[in-house]
Homo-oligomer: A and B are copies of this chain.
Amino acid sequence: MSDTTEKPAGGMNRRDFLKAGLAAGGAAAFGGAAAAAENDPLITEVQDWNRYLGAGVQAAPYGVPSEHEPHVVRCDVEWLTASTESSVNFTPLHELDGIITPNGLCFERHHGGVADIAPADHRLMINGLVDTPLVFTMQNLMRFPRENRVYFLECAANSGMEWRGSQFNGCQYTHGMVHCVMYTGVPLKLLLEEAGVKANGKWLLAEGADAAAMTHSIPMEKALDDCLVAFKMNGEALRPEQGYPLRLWVPDWEGNMWGKWLRQLEVGDEPWQQREETSKYTDLLASGKARRFTWVMDPKSIITNPSPQMPITHGKGPLVISGLVWSGNGQIKRVYVSIDGGRNWKTARIDGPSFFKALHRFYLDIEWDGSPLLLQSRALDEHGFYQPTKNELRAERGENSIYHNNSVQTWHVKEDGTVENVEVS
């Protein structure tokens, strides 16, 4: 966003800054002498939007963002993968605030493109080691008791490109495979109880109805705990790219477990060892061995503003540092911010709803003196888990992996306000 107000002088606090920098405009409008503001037609003249009727209510029965916000989109990633059907795009975290991700901006990750399914044609089957195999229509699912919960969803590969060094200038690219939504759905436990899981039914294979027929093994203990079969997100029907009309919802666990276009739940006595849980979505260590079934998303945070895509354009003085923090391990206890590359830390202010297993929004309000910053944030959860540095993570897991990078990210804020993705040792 551009700004016609002059930059404030250095060394002033917020009150001084506003009185000096902003009162000019106010004074001009009310007979003062500040030349710059007096000549600002935005204050002294009636503008078109105040003079002429605007568009009426008919324009868009389903509303869309302002035409002044064309840059707030999930980014074009044609350069990233061989095809768009098995690809990804990223949530524009730097443009957002609060904790809810609008449905139109939730990142996508597909393995066979977006399945186009009419709800009346969709079926969910539960079979395998159950007393009674069942098939549900969407309408029948909606006759079960529903729940509403706000949870984050993070792709296991989020920040994966950062393992081998700072790669991308923007939190949209480094951390944009996460979103936070209020879901409505039916507890999976209720559906499994209807079918009657046999005593040796210890695992569940969840399968999607898309062209990839994505499958994942889920331990029965998790399935009976807090999983949901969801049909609404942020109040309305799931979006096609998020599994419309039905999605499995596996809180705290990596996003690829959240089966989109969910059509089958097979109960078995051991995991299935499918492609997406063996050759993919396992963490190859330096030794050549791989960690697998590493489902839980560890504590993590990111400063979204300022960041490479959201430089400081207003000069010295009051600066709102803002970011997101989350953990699949437990409640967020605290989030710290450093402006000097991790030498000193301040506790940031978490503001707004603080749901267990959801994104949290944090702020640190500072006075920027115009000197370079090395901005970092660091999450701490209730069990004492904290984010490691990149080098601590590499020391433990090597550099082969692309999954489960929850390390501390560093932004280098330069004197001119531009921001770069860097590493500090």
Contact = CB atoms under 8 A, between A and B. Distances in A.
A145 B18 CA distance: 14
Nearest to A319: B143
A103 B104 CA distance: 10
Contact of A3 (B96, B139, B184, B263): B139
A113 B53 contact: yes
A23 interface: yes
A140 B98 CA distance: 19
A287 interface: no
B1 A139 contact: yes
A344 interface: no
Interface class of chain A by DSSP: loop
A110 interface: yes
A120 B2 contact: yes
Contacts of A19: 132, 134, 194
This chain: copies in complex: 2
A396 interface: no
A54 B114 contact: yes
Interface residues of A, number: 141
Contacts of A2: 120
Contacts of A1: 119-120, 138-139
A371 B92 CA distance: 51
27 contacts: A1-B119, A1-B139, A3-B120, A18-B194, A21-B140, A23-B134, A37-B135, A49-B210, A49-B261, A50-B263, A53-B113, A54-B115, A56-B110, A57-B74, A62-B73, A63-B241, A64-B239, A65-B103, A65-B239, A96-B232, A97-B184, A101-B235, A104-B104, A145-B365, A146-B351, A148-B351, A150-B353
